[in-house]
Amino acid sequence: MTTLLNCLLLVVFASGLFNMTSAVAQLEPGSIAATAIGSLHIEQDGVYYVLEQMSERAHVPVGVDAIQPAKAETITLDFRGGSVAELMNLFVSKANDYRWVEKSGVINVSRVNAGVSLVDVVIDYPGASGRTRQEIWMDIKSRPEVLAWFRDSGCSEFEYLTGQEFRQHNKPITVHPGKLSLRDLLNEVTTESGSGYWAVLQSAPSESCRVSIMPW
């Protein structure tokens, strides 16, 4: 009996060690998720504003897509410092229906089972050479694949701009041509321009469908 118990304990220990090693292995050296950042406090506010503030104040590129809930959620973050992964894990512990993953050097956040399918639309992108972030953003909205998604989904486009979006990080950049999803295109524009944040948000299911592509 003692031998059997010892074997079971060894298996449990080994399993825990494997899981711990796997978790650490996900933080690859040089990745955004492994980057060390300082403390950060964001008082009670909406989820998407909190993400935008995390991006701006911690200098972390973030992209988010979500079908918004019927009732806006507010959270408070009190981060004592650590890795970007630890910051994002704290965020999802406060906003339980969101998940994050690092993709192409950008922290991508999606609402569980309520992402915006528009970001997965594959675009046959002709490329952009020496064009500003604003010019690329305007062109995205006129891409045939994006227009087809709006037509087929029955959603309308909704712009929520403050006039501040393109005052910074609007230098000419280059994006190579190819087939890529809207998410990948927005990620690439974010990293190339240094803008730091993008959001594709869809109105709550109880409302008429409106989608905004925000180049914050």
Distance of CA 72 to CAs 5, 13, 30, 75, 149, Å?
A: 50, 42, 35, 10, 26
Q: Kindly tell me the burial class for residue 183, based on how many C-beta atoms sit within 10 Å of its own C-beta (0-12, 13-18, 19 or more).
A: buried
Give the per-residue pLDDT at 131.
86
Tens digit of each residue's pLDDT (9 = 90 or more) over 84-136: 999 999 999 999 999 999 999 999 999 999 999 999 999 999 999 988 888 88
Please give the pLDDT value at position 105: 92
Give pLDDT, residue 133.
82
Predicted confidence at residue 164, as pLDDT, reads: 58
The three-class DSSP label of residue 80 is coil
Q: What is the pLDDT of residue 159?
A: 72
At 34-79, the pLDDT tens digits run 999 999 999 988 999 999 999 999 999 999 999 999 998 899 999 9
Average pLDDT over residues 187-210: 92
Name the nearest CA neighbour of 36 among 88, 86, 82, 91.
82
Amino acid at residue number 17 = L
Q: Report the SS3 class of residue 131.
A: strand
